Amino acid sequence: MGRSTESLSRWEDGEVEGEQSLDEPRSARPRIAIIGAGVSGLAAAEALEETGVFDITLIEARNRVGGRIQTERVGNGFYDLGGQDFLEEDGIDISLLQYCEDKGLSRVKKSVVAQLYNKYGPVRSDSKRAGQRWYQELHAEILRKQIAIQNFEEPDKPLDAVINEFLETSLLPSRERRMLAWFTKMMETQTLGEAKNVSSKYWDWAMIQSGLSEKSGLQNCFGDLVNCLAMRKKILMGVNVQAVTYTGDAGVKIVADDNMELYVDRCIVAVPVSVLAAGDLKFSPPLPDRKISAMNAIGTCTLNKVFLEFSERFWSEGDSHFAFIDGELIKGMASTSHRFYLFESLWESTRTSSLLAYSFGADAESQELLSDQELGDAVVNVLSNMFARERIKVVRVKASKWNSDTLARGSFPFVPVNGSPEDFNIMSDPVAKRIFFAGDGTTTLFPGSVRGAFASGKREAEKIVELYNG
Ligand SMILES: Cc1cc2nc3c(=O)[nH]c(=O)nc-3n(C[C@H](O)[C@H](O)[C@H](O)COP(=O)(O)OP(=O)(O)OC[C@H]3O[C@@H](n4cnc5c(N)ncnc54)[C@H](O)[C@@H]3O)c2cc1C
């Protein structure tokens, strides 16, 4: 970075020819820039580095690596404010799992069975099973509707329209209704978008976790993965890229804040699709219309986590997850359980009296406007009802704010009504053999997930290697 304005104008005037034209001493090796040091960008760098052929520069706007993986320390342990679990093992693509194994990053099975509470205390397991049975019926109904839509018997519609129809025609007792509301809320988070926006045709396409059953995480935290990937890499930190100019002949010019410039042969753009759709990176010439339509057609939803440390632990030592089902009932998706649909205890992992409170969609977005004090009060309000305690003292609050974070602009990409997974494929198309795209919104293989992001980075690196091999 930091080339002179003179060299910039020469490049723009077209005085330079081909990749040899840049006035800086040429690296003998092809120069590749990767914009974004999240998992996808880091994975691309790792794969290119392994070839020993390329001169790679990662450019990251934040002063940390990892993007939507963000690990914080508390007590003797860690917690993740972003990605934290792996998808189940499946054989479709195990590249990330293999990477972790090779690097000695141990995976641990995690149970996400939540203890449910209502205003009378813990919900009995037979009542929970009754809620589960209703959920299975609803699930079957959603699948029936999905098939009808796929067969063009019905138009696509938001998932909550299907849920509403089910609720209207089922004689659901109010206690089960609240239970079902919680199960549907959990399902909603797995579709990666709010039910009022998610396509019923593709609602289960991107389910990133098994959710209500077992899943796995890393022994400590996902920060370990990011640190491994970032090790010994050339990363320009705190450099916010604003413009990318490219031609088939001359290569790529990257302009960041403070008029810093970098000239490379090819570039991998590994920023979230939501950031591209917001127009935060200017491309010259503009990206093809097809790509612009695709990025605008992909939805983005927010999952937030509020970390809270208390003066003492007041929940049961054995409860890893719990939820309050006696929240306000809302039409359609029903209860939002006072806006925090799940609590995760950090007691076992950190030995501190800490919890993560989860919120999703519009709830999560509106909470981003609250101060830490207000957020803490909102969580305590739910917990006081759940545990029938009047005094709960919060010592510390830290909230993720992925929606207002302009380098993320939300948590996950999803397929909205009338959208299609094909948009994610279009996002992965290279432009002019110069600009390549990686990230969790450029893949139909585990979209919206760490595994998907990792695989997309490897995929783009392979495309570049092939260009030089071919
Ligand atoms: C709360 C939450 C929970 C999640 N839970 C899970 C989970 O349990 N399991 C799972 O698999 N996935 C989960 N995910 C999703 C997962 O974290 C993401 O899919 C994955 O991390 C995306 O990686 P990425 O490289 O595509 O994008 P990112 O991680 O967003 O990386 C993009 C990078 O580009 C940088 N950048 C943006 N604009 C610029 C610019 N102009 N110039 C320079 N740099 C720029 C950003 O700062 C960022 O570092 C979760 C996400 C969130 C937010």
| pLDDT at site 91 | 67
Given a contact cutoff of 8 angstroms between Cβ atoms, the answer to whether 241 and 256 are in contact is yes
Q: What is the pLDDT of residues 167-179, one digit of tens each?
A: 888 888 877 888 8
Given a contact cutoff of 8 angstroms between Cβ atoms, the answer to whether 346 and 354 are in contact is yes
Q: What is the pLDDT of residues 233-283, one digit of tens each?
A: 999 999 999 999 998 888 999 999 878 999 999 999 999 999 999 999 999
Comparing CA positions, the residue from 217, 208, 215 lying closest to residue 106 is 217
Residues of the chain with CATH 3.90.660.10: 113-212+303-399
pLDDT of 182 above 90 = no
* Torsion over CA: 375, 380, 381, 383 (sign): positive
pLDDT of 89 above 70 = no
Q: Which two tokens stand for residue 216?
A: 């796995």
Comparing CA positions, the residue from 360, 390, 403, 396 lying closest to residue 376 is 396
* Residue in the structure block whose two tokens are 């509707």: 145
Comparing CA positions, the residue from 32, 87, 98 lying closest to residue 443 is 87
pLDDT of 284 above 70 = yes
Q: How confident is the model at residue 374 (pLDDT cuts 50, 70, 90)?
A: very high
C-alpha–C-alpha distance, residues 374 and 386, integer Å: 19
CA 159 to chain centre: 21
Lowest mean pLDDT among 11-25, 49-63, 78-92, 342-356: 11-25
C-alpha–C-alpha distance, residues 354 and 348, integer Å: 10
Given a contact cutoff of 8 angstroms between Cβ atoms, the answer to whether 224 and 212 are in contact is no
| pLDDT at site 334 | 47
Query: Do the strands 342-345 and 321-324 form a parallel or antiparallel pair, or are they unpaired?
Result: antiparallel
| pLDDT at site 328 | 61
Mutation pick for ligand 1 pocket among 450, 456, 460 (CB with most ligand atoms within 8 Å): 450
Residues of the chain with CATH 3.50.50.60: 5-65+223-298+421-469
* Section 312-319 average pLDDT: 92
Q: Is the CB of 443 under 6 A from ligand 1?
A: no
Q: How confident is the model at residue 216 (pLDDT cuts 50, 70, 90)?
A: confident
Going along 196-291, which residue ranges are E strands? 214-218, 235-237, 241-247, 251-256, 260-264, 266-269, 282-284
Give the distance (Å) from ligand 1 centre to CA of residue 27: 31
In this prediction, what percent of the chain has a pLDDT beyond 70? 89
Region of 337 on the Ramachandran plot (φ > 0 left; ψ -120 to 50 alpha; else beta): left
Lowest mean pLDDT among 199-213, 303-317, 350-364, 442-456: 199-213
- Residue 57 forms beta bridges with which residues? 33
Q: Give the residue whose CA is nearest to atom 2 of ligand 1.
A: 82
Of ligand 1's atoms, which has the minimum distance to the CA of residue 456?
Answer: 26
Distances (CA, A) of 21 to 18, 31, 287, 289: 6, 13, 24, 30
Of ligand 1's atoms, which has the minimum distance to the CA of residue 62?
Answer: 47
Q: How confident is the model at residue 207 (pLDDT cuts 50, 70, 90)?
A: confident
Of ligand 1's atoms, which has the minimum distance to the CA of residue 281?
Answer: 41
Going along 341-445, which residue ranges are E strands? 342-345, 354-360, 394-399, 412-414, 435-437
* Section 341-345 average pLDDT: 93
Of ligand 1's atoms, which has the minimum distance to the CA of residue 457?
Answer: 25
Q: Is the CB of 270 under 6 A from ligand 1?
A: yes
Q: Is the CB of 37 under 6 A from ligand 1?
A: yes
C-alpha–C-alpha distance, residues 447 and 301, integer Å: 13
* Section 386-396 average pLDDT: 91
* Section 360-379 average pLDDT: 93
Give the distance (Å) from ligand 1 centre to CA of residue 396: 25
- Among 50-59, 114-123, 171-180, which range has the highest average pLDDT? 50-59
Given a contact cutoff of 8 angstroms between Cβ atoms, the answer to whether 93 and 68 are in contact is no
- Sheet hosting strand 235-237, strand order edge to edge: 235-237, 55-60, 31-35, 266-269, 435-437
| DSSP H or E stretch at residue 50 | helix 39-51
Q: What is the pLDDT of residues 412-438, one digit of tens each?
A: 999 999 999 999 999 999 999 999 999
| pLDDT at site 125 | 87
- 285 cis-preceded (ω within 30 degrees of 0): yes
Give the CA count within 13 Å in the CB-facing half-sphere of 344: 17
Would you identify the CATH topology of the domain 5-65+223-298+421-469?
FAD/NAD(P)-binding domain (3.50.50)
Give the CA count within 13 Å in the CB-facing half-sphere of 126: 0
Q: What is the pLDDT of residues 141-173, one digit of tens each?
A: 999 999 999 999 999 999 999 998 998 888 888
Which positions make up the binding site for FAD? 40, 60-61
Q: Give the residue whose CA is nearest to atom 52 of ligand 1.
A: 82
Q: Which two tokens stand for residue 299?
A: 């939805």
Given a contact cutoff of 8 angstroms between Cβ atoms, the answer to whether 189 and 303 are in contact is yes
Q: Where are the alpha helices (DSSP H) in 388-470?
A: 422-427, 450-469
| pLDDT at site 186 | 87
Neighbours of 106 (CB within 10 A): 12
Would you identify the CATH topology of the domain 113-212+303-399?
Polyamine Oxidase; Chain A, domain 2 (3.90.660)
| pLDDT at site 6 | 29
Q: Give the residue whose CA is nearest to atom 20 of ligand 1.
A: 450
Query: Do the strands 282-284 and 241-247 form a parallel or antiparallel pair, or are they unpaired?
Result: parallel
Give the distance (Å) from ligand 1 centre to CA of residue 59: 15
pLDDT of 69 above 60 = yes
Q: Is the CB of 43 under 6 A from ligand 1?
A: no
Q: Give the residue whose CA is nearest to atom 50 of ligand 1.
A: 83
Of ligand 1's atoms, which has the minimum distance to the CA of residue 451?
Answer: 11
What average pLDDT is seen over the chain?
87
Q: Is the CB of 457 under 6 A from ligand 1?
A: no
C-alpha–C-alpha distance, residues 96 and 430, integer Å: 23
| DSSP H or E stretch at residue 110 | strand 107-111
| pLDDT at site 26 | 53
pTM of the model: 0.91
- Residue 159 forms beta bridges with which residues? none
Ramachandran angles phi, psi of 331, nearest 5°: -55, 145
Comparing CA positions, the residue from 236, 378, 301, 260 lying closest to residue 68 is 301
Ramachandran angles phi, psi of 332, nearest 5°: 80, -105
Neighbours of 213 (CB within 10 A): 10
Comparing CA positions, the residue from 259, 287, 253, 252 lying closest to residue 273 is 287
Give the distance (Å) from ligand 1 centre to CA of residue 140: 32
Q: How confident is the model at residue 327 (pLDDT cuts 50, 70, 90)?
A: low
